[in-house]
Amino acid sequence: MENFQFYSPTEFVFGRDTEDKAGELVKKHGGSKVLIHYGGGSAERSGLLGRVRTSLEKAGVSFIELGGVKPNPRDTLVYEGIELCRRDGIDFILSVGGGSVIDSSKAIALGVPYSGDFWDFYCDKAVAKAALPVGTVLTIAAAGSEGSGDSVITKEDGGLKRGTGTDLIRPRFSILDPQLTCTLPAYQTACGATDIMAHVFERYFTNTTEVEVTDRLCEAVLLTMIKETPRVIADPNNYDARANIMWAGTVAHTNIVGVGREQDWNSHGIEHELSALYDCAHGAGLAVIMPAWMEFVYRHDPLRFAQAATRIWGCQMDFGNPEVTALEGIKRFRSFLHSIGMPINFAELGAREEDIPALVDKFGIGDGKTGGFVHLSAEDITEIYRIAAKAEL
């Protein structure tokens, strides 16, 4: 196990009707003039925004609003948010939505006290020294942004998708009401579930040895997702299944299951180019990419893949041929994704094989390699896209 620091100071308030505590929580965590940041009209139509406003008013907290965050949130709206906050002396950002809204909120939070361009933090030109506090009311179990110090933003001009991470933007509180996720369409629910599982697998495949405790914690989250996801696809109003998925999604990304071990994250990087080019859902892109990545790299450590296959997917271990077990686990992962309605190849995702050179080019590693479980060259990434393009059950 490697040395590590683990710091997750977010106050999680979980359960039915917890959104009514938004006002008191903003106040408790020092906010007095709030920007409510949200996405489309569903938060308004569902009555959620109304409840949040009422809660803020009851707590004596003033607020302004900025909606319009899209999936794969854009820099343009971030600039607008920064201006608004500066103009009105906003001291707290309350994010009402899913990962995209939270990531956009975090970008605004970083930008307000910074004299330069907030994008500097996303292209490693500057290290953040301050940020406005952020709180969240989560509406989708997926990105884990409600419990992380990470944010991913897409540049409108050119579609460049980049991330940043700092403890400064860890939410002060996150309100998690599983009821809010019951109205999500099956496709979005499945995309979220795939993202959660991917966050765990990115941590699971590691070259660090002697990490039983985090291996087992990763498996715990994955076993939960395998049990609960089909239940919510079959019955969207199953509160308990929604609740298990929601807490699993947060646990998956606070990093408590990933500390002390080298992590991978190449599937996320390879997928980001897909969602940037086709504006597809991140989870759907991951469903296509991650099993393909696994098929490309499993020979690097067949026993780790066999461990996943037996402990997570319930495969019988073939002690004479661990690679057979390893491949069986990957196959079951892809079948599972298909069973919950996810695409498993380029055609189903709406991606085109002829774009692969452009995707690899945009990934932008040139003659270098990306780190992780297996270091990948541009050629390797091309091959992973090719496997993904043609994948079948």
Q: Is 90 in the site for a second copy (CB under 8 A)?
A: no
Is the Cβ of residue 8 or residue 382 nearer to a second copy in the bound state? 8
Residue selected from 13, 232, 276, 286 as contacting a second copy according to rule CB under 8 A:
13
Using the contact rule CB under 8 A, the part of the chain among 54-62, 237-245, 268-276, 362-370 near a second copy is 237-245
φ, ψ dihedrals at 187, nearest 5°: -60, -45
The residue among 246, 260, 249, 253 whose CA lies nearest residue 215 is 260
- Angle at 361 (CA atoms; ends 360, 365), nearest 5 degrees: 85
For residue 33, what is the DSSP state? E
Q: For residue 200, which of 256, 278, 238, 146 has the smallest C-alpha distance?
A: 256
For position 8 contacting a second copy by CB under 8 A, the verdict is: yes
Please, what is the minimum distance in Å from the beta carbon of residue 349 to a second copy?
Answer: 29
> Is 168 an interacting residue with respect to a second copy (CB under 8 A)?
no
Work out how close the CB of 224 gets to a second copy at its nearest, in angstroms, rounded to a whole number.
Answer: 4
Among 55, 181, 188, 214, which residue interacts with a second copy (rule: CB under 8 A)? 214
What token pair was written down for 108?
């605004």
Q: How far is the CB of 95 from a second copy (least distance, A)?
A: 19
Amino acid at 167: D
Binding residue for a second copy (CB under 8 A) from 248, 287, 360, 374? 248
Tokens describing residue 251 = 């646990």
Measure the CA dihedral 123/127/133/136, to 10°. 30
Phi, psi of 93 (to 5 degrees): -110, 120
d(CA 257, CA 254): 8
How near is the Cβ of 263 to a second copy at its closest, in Å? 16
User: Using the rule CB under 8 A, which residue among 58, 86, 216, 375 binds a second copy?
Assistant: 216
Phi, psi of 322 (to 5 degrees): -55, -30
Kindly write out the interface string for residues 15-34 of this chain, putting x where it contacts a second copy by CB under 8 A and - elsewhere.
xx-x----------------
Segment 251 to 310, residues that bind a second copy, using CB under 8 A:
251, 256, 259-260
Q: Does 123 bind a second copy (CB under 8 A)?
A: no
Nearer to a second copy, 201 or 363 (CB): 201
CB 278 within 8 A of CB 289: no
Which residue from 9, 116, 185, 368 is in contact with a second copy, where contact means CB under 8 A? 9
Looking at 213-221, 292-300, 356-364, 365-373, which segment touches a second copy (CB under 8 A)? Answer: 213-221
Backbone angles phi, psi at 376, to 5 degrees: -115, 135
Segment holding 18, helix H or strand E: none
Q: How far is the CB of 242 from a second copy (least distance, A)?
A: 9
Backbone angles phi, psi at 239, to 5 degrees: -60, -45
Q: What is the C-alpha separation between 333 and 329, in angstroms, rounded? A: 6
Q: Which amino acid is at 354?
A: E
Judged by CB under 8 A, the number of residues near a second copy is 43
Does position 230 interact with a second copy (CB under 8 A)? The reply is no
The Cα 151–Cα 22 span in angstroms is 22
Query: Is position 316 an interface residue for a second copy (rule: CB under 8 A)?
Result: no
Pick from 60, 124, 157, 209 the residue near a second copy by CB under 8 A: 209
Number of Cα atoms under 13 Å in the Cβ half of residue 42: 14
Residue 194 binds a second copy (CB under 8 A): no
Binding site for a second copy (CB under 8 A): 1-16, 18, 178, 209-214, 216-217, 219-221, 223-224, 227-228, 240-241, 243-244, 247-248, 251, 256, 259-260
